[in-house]
């Protein structure tokens, strides 16, 4: 059994497990942090961005004026933003049988894997994961395609040139594998390969392996996966949460007794408490509005935003913000809000019981009905006429490189009355803000990451007791910025097996048994004999049938009765036609009884001894 690690990002994993005769890809996360190296894509022409000076090396020998622009001492690539893809050379992607998706954030690289690679397998995901994943992909494509950029910069990727560039561009890794966004056709084609599964559904793969998604408590439809045969069990834990937010709680007990547990997707903010962050979020928001400023919340269009809206629903009345407009801008805003209301089965108990009343599970339905929350596909159209300030705007993309958020940064960045509140933990806020410097607006960093922290995960592992743990190497040492915090790492006995991008790990397994079925006729014909109390033996002679990785033992077929013929009158002269199989002899010989029988048939011990001697 082997594990191929195609992504180095611990929360956006992409691993391939070879188990028995199957090749299973676990998630295909797309590392989008690479877009931070690029200039933002403005929705309307931005004189500031277009006037940024080009970059020329200090000695003047390298001139990349067209490709690289300088802003407040940092260099950015002026080109269509590109993503860092999972490794595609480590193994032949066309050999992958199935892809298991754990949550909608971890499937964004799917079209790169399933399209134009010869992939012929299928993808398994839950219905909310598919539907919301589709929305996020459509949104990403829409963000890119509505502001096309004519040029694509490639010269800076030259190794010799990249070496002399200023940081952090100099230190960017795998730049040659970076790719621009896929098309909507690729998205549709990739998602047509998805087969829907429900929690605790047992899915058979080629009769050899069974895979089962389990609730992971992180987002709508998010799952961990069990990959098992009759004798071996691998648990794949990805983005899980023990906090009570909107999704169904995490199923922990089914992870018990794993031989190997692959652990990914822990919190990216191990020191930030989500509840405290939510409090900070609300108080900063209220403070800004009261002072007459606007609040910008860069966020994904599904996930934490549901919790933010729910929190605000309770908060705005008390804080006297009832008249402040809340806007949610995204090409998929409406769909995201609507979809969140129809997945009752995938929600926590509280929300489920609301549906039984019947009431919409999320209170944002009421915010919309009372006109407190309005949603628009973009800043164009209806929004421009309805727009009132001061207001709160939720919009993407959290990297601040594309989407409607770019427009609001240009619009509000110059005033210190306004505040930008970061809630998504995926991007460093300082890097995100870099191309907008100098900025006057206030910046508040309240990253809300509900995924497991180190304390929770060590408690979980103590409970489920896997024999071995495999995890990204980042989890085996404290974060570089807090190297003294030895509590911010995994300490286990035996120590976890770390992986990094391009690792190939041999998993410590010894397969000893396989399941076989005795047909009832065969089982009936067996004669067990007790060799010691509680243990019986039976010898078996049977015919093995193996089909679709299922094995059965059948009784040996009886020879057909031969047609009587003249030749066969002298039976004795004919040798036995078919060798009637005799079972092997085994077990301890009951010596006393054996001798007694021998004695009966007049073999004395003496003759036996002489016989044995010769």
Partner 1 sequence: MPEIKVTPLGAGQDVGRSCILVSIGGKNIMLDCGMHMGYNDDRRFPDFSYITQQGRLTEFLDCVIISHFHLDHCGALPYMSEMVGYDGPIYMTHPTKAICPILLEDFRKITVDKKGETNFFTSQMIKDCMKKVIPLNLHQTVQVDDELEIKAYYAGHVLGAAMVQIKVGSESVVYTGDYNMTPDRHLGAAWIDKCRPDILISESTYATTIRDSKRCRERDFLKKVHETVERGGKVLIPVFALGRAQELCILLETFWERMNMKAPIYFSTGLTEKANHYYKLFITWTNQKIRKTFVQRNMFEFKHIKAFDRSYIDNPGPMVVFATPGMLHAGLSLQIFRKWAGNEKNMIIMPGYCVQGTIGHKILNGQKKLELENRQTLEVKLQVEYMSFSAHADAKGIMQLIRMAEPRNMLLVHGEAKKMEFLKDKIEQEFSINCFMPANGETSTVATNPSVPVDISLNLLKREMALGGPLPDPKKPRTMHGTLIMKDNCVSSLIFFSDFGCPWLEHQLRFTCRVQLQDAHSDSDTHIRIYTHLKSVLKGYTIQHLPDGTVMVESIVIKVSSSPEEPNTKVLLLSWSYQDEDLGSFLSTLLKKGLPAALSSM
257 binds partner 1 (CB under 8 A): no
Q: Based on the number of CB atoms within 10 Å of its own CB, is 429 exposed (0-12), middle (13-18) or buried (19 or more)?
A: buried
* Cβ 340 to partner 1 shortest distance, Å: 11
* Cβ 392 to partner 1 shortest distance, Å: 24
Structure tokens, 189: 């084609």
- Cβ atoms < 10 Å from Cβ of 53: 10
Of 412-441, binders to partner 1 (CB under 8 A) are none
Helix (H, G, I), strand (E, B) or coil at 376: strand
State which of residues 50, 369, 384, 546 lies at the interface with partner 1 (CB under 8 A).
Answer: 546
Comparing CB distances to partner 1, the nearer of 153 and 365 is 365
256 binds partner 1 (CB under 8 A): no
Using CB under 8 A as the binding criterion, the count of chain residues that bind partner 1 stands at 70
513 binds partner 1 (CB under 8 A): yes
520 binds partner 1 (CB under 8 A): yes
342 binds partner 1 (CB under 8 A): yes
Comparing CB distances to partner 1, the nearer of 263 and 507 is 507
514 binds partner 1 (CB under 8 A): yes
Comparing CB distances to partner 1, the nearer of 103 and 264 is 103
Q: Based on the number of CB atoms within 10 Å of its own CB, is 571 exposed (0-12), middle (13-18) or buried (19 or more)?
A: exposed
CA angle 304, 345, 461 (to 5 degrees): 65
* Cβ 131 to partner 1 shortest distance, Å: 9
Phi, psi at residue 78, to the nearest 5°?
-95, 90
- What distance in Å separates the CA atoms of residue 270 and residue 268, rounded to the nearest whole number? 6
557 binds partner 1 (CB under 8 A): yes
State which of residues 124, 281, 343, 454 lies at the interface with partner 1 (CB under 8 A).
Answer: 343
- What distance in Å separates the CA atoms of residue 218 and residue 27, rounded to the nearest whole number? 15
346-365 footprint of partner 1 as x/- string (CB under 8 A)? ------x--xx-x-xx----
572 binds partner 1 (CB under 8 A): yes
| DSSP string for 291-319 | TT--EEEE--SSSHHHHHHHHHHHHHHHT
Contacts of 493 (CB under 8 A, 6+ apart): none
- What distance in Å separates the CA atoms of residue 201 and residue 414, rounded to the nearest whole number? 53
535 binds partner 1 (CB under 8 A): yes
91 binds partner 1 (CB under 8 A): no
Structure tokens, 526: 């067996």
202 binds partner 1 (CB under 8 A): yes
Helix (H, G, I), strand (E, B) or coil at 471: strand
197 binds partner 1 (CB under 8 A): yes
State which of residues 70, 115, 174, 345 lies at the interface with partner 1 (CB under 8 A).
Answer: 345
Pairing assessment for the beta strands 260-263 and 373-376 based on DSSP bridges = unpaired
CA dihedral (581, 587, 591, 597) in degrees, to 10, reads -30
State which of residues 344, 411, 464, 492 lies at the interface with partner 1 (CB under 8 A).
Answer: 344
- What distance in Å separates the CA atoms of residue 74 and residue 434, rounded to the nearest whole number? 7
State which of residues 244, 257, 273, 586 lies at the interface with partner 1 (CB under 8 A).
Answer: 586
100-139 footprint of partner 1 as x/- string (CB under 8 A)? ---------------------------x------------
Structure tokens, 300: 């994904």
State which of residues 589, 591, 593, 612 lies at the interface with partner 1 (CB under 8 A).
Answer: 589
Helix (H, G, I), strand (E, B) or coil at 157: helix
Alpha helices in 341-448 (DSSP H): 349-355, 364-369, 382-386, 405-412, 429-433
Structure tokens, 187: 């998205």
State which of residues 199, 236, 313, 362 lies at the interface with partner 1 (CB under 8 A).
Answer: 199
- What distance in Å separates the CA atoms of residue 461 and residue 470, rounded to the nearest whole number? 12
339 binds partner 1 (CB under 8 A): yes
150 binds partner 1 (CB under 8 A): no
Comparing CB distances to partner 1, the nearer of 362 and 427 is 362
For 365-493, strand residue ranges (E) read 373-376, 392-395, 419-422, 442-445, 468-472
Structure tokens, 25: 């890809």
148 binds partner 1 (CB under 8 A): no
184 binds partner 1 (CB under 8 A): no
State which of residues 54, 198, 207, 325 lies at the interface with partner 1 (CB under 8 A).
Answer: 198
Binding residues for partner 1, rule: CB under 8 A, are: 127, 197-202, 212, 230-231, 334-335, 338-339, 341-345, 352, 355-356, 358, 360-361, 511-520, 523, 526, 528, 534-546, 551-553, 556-557, 572-573, 575-576, 579-587, 589
């Amino acid at each position: 059994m082997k594990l191929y690690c195609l992504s180095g990002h611990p929360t956006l994993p992409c691993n391939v497990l070879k188990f028995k005769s199957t090749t299973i890809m676990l998630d295909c996360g797309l590392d989008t942090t690479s877009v931070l190296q690029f200039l933002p894509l403005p929705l309307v022409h931005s004189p500031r961005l277009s006037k940024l000076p080009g970059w020329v090396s200090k000695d003047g020998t390298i001139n990349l004026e067209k490709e690289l622009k300088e802003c407040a001492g940092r260099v950015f690539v002026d080109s269509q933003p590109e993503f860092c893809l999972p490794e595609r050379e480590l193994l032949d992607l066309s050999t992958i049988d199935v892809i298991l998706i754990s949550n909608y954030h971890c499937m964004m690289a799917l079209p790169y894997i399933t399209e134009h690679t010869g992939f012929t397998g299928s993808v398994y995901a839950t219905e909310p994961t598919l539907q919301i994943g589709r929305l996020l992909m459509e949104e990403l494509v829409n963000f890119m395609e509505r502001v096309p950029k004519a040029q694509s910069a490639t010269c800076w990727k030259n190794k010799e040139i990249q070496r002399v560039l200023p940081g952090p561009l100099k230190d960017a890794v795998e730049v040659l594998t970076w790719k621009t966004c896929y098309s909507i056709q690729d998205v549709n084609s990739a998602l047509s390969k998805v087969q829907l599964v429900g929690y605790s559904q047992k899915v058979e793969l080629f009769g050899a392996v069974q895979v089962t998604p389990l609730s992971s408590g992180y987002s709508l439809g998010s799952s961990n996966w069990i990959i098992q045969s009759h004798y071996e069990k691998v648990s794949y834990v990805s983005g899980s949460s023990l906090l009570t937010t909107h999704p169904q709680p995490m199923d922990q007990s089914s992870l018990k007794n794993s031989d190997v547990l692959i652990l990914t997707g822990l919190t990216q903010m191990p020191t930030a408490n989500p509840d405290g962050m939510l409090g900070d979020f609300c108080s900063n928001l209220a403070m800004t509005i009261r002072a007459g400023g606007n609040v910008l919340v860069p966020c994904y269009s599904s996930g934490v935003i549901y919790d933010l809206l729910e929190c605000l629903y309770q908060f705005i009345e008390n804080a006297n913000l009832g008249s402040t407009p809340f806007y949610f801008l995204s090409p998929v805003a409406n769909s995201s809000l609507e979809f969140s209301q129809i997945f009752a089965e995938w929600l926590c108990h509280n929300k489920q019981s609301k549906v039984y009343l019947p009431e919409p599970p999320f209170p944002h339905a009421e915010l919309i009905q009372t006109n407190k929350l309005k949603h628009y596909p973009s800043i164009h159209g209806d929004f421009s006429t309805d727009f009132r300030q001061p207001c709160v705007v939720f919009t993407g993309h959290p990297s601040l490189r594309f989407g409607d958020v770019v427009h609001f940064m240009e619009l509000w960045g110059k005033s210190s009355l306004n505040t930008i509140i970061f809630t998504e933990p995926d991007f460093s806020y300082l890097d995100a803000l870099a191309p907008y410097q100098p900025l006057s607006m206030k910046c508040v960093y309240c990253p809300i990451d509900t995924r497991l922290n180190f304390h929770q995960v060590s408690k979980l592992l103590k409970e489920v007791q896997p024999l071995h743990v495999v995890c990204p190497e980042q989890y085996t040492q404290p974060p570089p910025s807090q190297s003294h915090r030895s509590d911010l790492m995994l300490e286990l006995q035996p120590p976890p097996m770390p992986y990094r991008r391009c690792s190939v790990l041999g998993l410590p397994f010894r397969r000893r048994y396989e399941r076989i079925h005795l047909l009832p006729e065969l089982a009936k014909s067996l004669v067990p004999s007790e060799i010691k109390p509680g243990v019986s033996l039976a010898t078996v002679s049977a015919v093995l049938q193996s089909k679709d990785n299922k094995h059965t033992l059948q009784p040996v077929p009886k020879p057909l009765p031969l047609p009587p013929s003249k030749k066969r009158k002298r039976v004795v002269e004919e040798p036995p036609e078919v060798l009637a199989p005799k079972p092997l002899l085994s077990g301890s010989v009951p010596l006393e009884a054996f001798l007694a029988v021998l004695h009966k048939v007049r073999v004395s011990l003496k003759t036996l001894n002489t016989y044995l001697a010769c």
